């Protein structure tokens, strides 16, 4: 049998052979000496549980978390050997919406929330992805708008599930266990599902 490799794409290494990131560390909660690389991801790719990713330095690793987590700018992904990969938010085309008063800010935020748009909330401004139709609406409502490029970090409350799964956080409180003979009505939610839920790469 010939030892000459066949032509065509090389076989993808097995996931077990890749460095594995099993925990998320808050920005600044890791030593600079532990950093071994960084990974730059758009907002839509920063809510994940398990996925093969490539660092900016060109090597692959497996994100393999206990549950889907929001990967904020500056967070660290801790590898099994103790190394840390820093998460960077990829630049995106954004619109900054500036209000003239807290009342106007609340009104603008209501219109964005009513349309289920991912929104980053600041002290006196809102940030959304560049959308000509929504931007025109904001102008009609009296906002000052500015287009810019930058990392996008919308409110994680726009997603179902916990926004963070940092290793230092205590486990979520268990449901109360004392008996109740009467039923509990629970209001339903209109929030959209978490990005990545049900995807083939197990991005839930």
The residues spanned by each domain of the chain are 18-89, 92-150
- Helix ranges (H only) for 36-185 are 102-114, 132-140
CATH classification of 92-150, choosing from 3.40.630.10, 3.30.70.790, 3.40.640.10, 3.40.50.1470? 3.30.70.790
**DSSP string for 146-199:** EEEEE-----GGGSSS-S--BTTSPPPPPPP-S--SS--------PPPPTTTT-
Question: CA-to-CA distance for 65 and 49, rounded, in angstroms?
Answer: 5
- On whether the CB atoms of residues 159 and 166 are closer than 8 A, the answer is no
User: What phi, psi does 93 have (nearest 5°)?
Assistant: -80, 115
Which CATH number fits the domain 18-89, given the four candidates 2.60.260.20, 3.20.20.70, 3.30.160.100, 3.40.50.1000? 2.60.260.20
C-alpha distances in Å from residue 90, one per residue of 41, 93, 110: 5, 10, 27
Contacts (Cβ under 8 Å, ≥6 apart) of 5: none
19, 36 in Cβ contact below 8 A? no
Task: Read off the DSSP letter of residue 141.
Answer: T
Instruction: Supply the pTM of this predicted model.
Output: 0.61
Digitized pLDDT (tens) for each residue of the chain, 204 residues in all: 444 443 333 334 455 589 999 999 999 899 999 999 999 999 888 888 999 999 999 999 999 999 988 898 999 999 999 999 999 999 999 999 999 999 999 999 999 999 999 999 988 899 999 999 999 999 999 999 999 999 998 887 644 444 444 444 333 344 444 444 444 444 444 444 434 433 345 554
- What is the rounded (10 degree) CA torsion for 51, 55, 58, 63? -30
- Residue at token pair 């990967």: 71
Return the structure tokens found at 183: 């039923």
């Amino acid at each position: 049998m010939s030892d000459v490799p066949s032509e065509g794409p090389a076989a993808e290494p097995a996931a077990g052979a890749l460095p594995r990131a099993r925990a998320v560390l808050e920005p600044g909660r890791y030593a600079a000496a532990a950093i071994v690389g960084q990974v730059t991801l758009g907002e839509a790719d920063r809510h994940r549980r398990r996925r093969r990713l490539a660092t900016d330095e060109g090597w692959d690793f497996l994100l393999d978390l206990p549950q889907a987590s929001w990967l904020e700018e500056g967070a660290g992904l801790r590898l099994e050997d103790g190394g840390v990969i820093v998460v960077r938010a990829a630049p995106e085309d954004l619109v900054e919406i500036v209000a003239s008063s807290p009342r106007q800010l609340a009104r603008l935020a209501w219109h964005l929330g009513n349309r289920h748009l991912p929104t980053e909330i600041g002290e006196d401004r809102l940030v959304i992805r560049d959308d000509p139709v929504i931007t025109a609406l904001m102008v009609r409502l009296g906002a000052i708008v500015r287009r810019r490029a930058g990392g996008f970090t919308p409110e994680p409350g726009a997603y179902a599930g916990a926004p963070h799964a940092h290793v230092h956080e205590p486990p979520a409180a268990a449901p109360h266990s004392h008996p109740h003979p009467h039923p509990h009505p629970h209001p339903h939610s209109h929030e959209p599902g978490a990005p990545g839920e049900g995807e083939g790469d197990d991005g839930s």
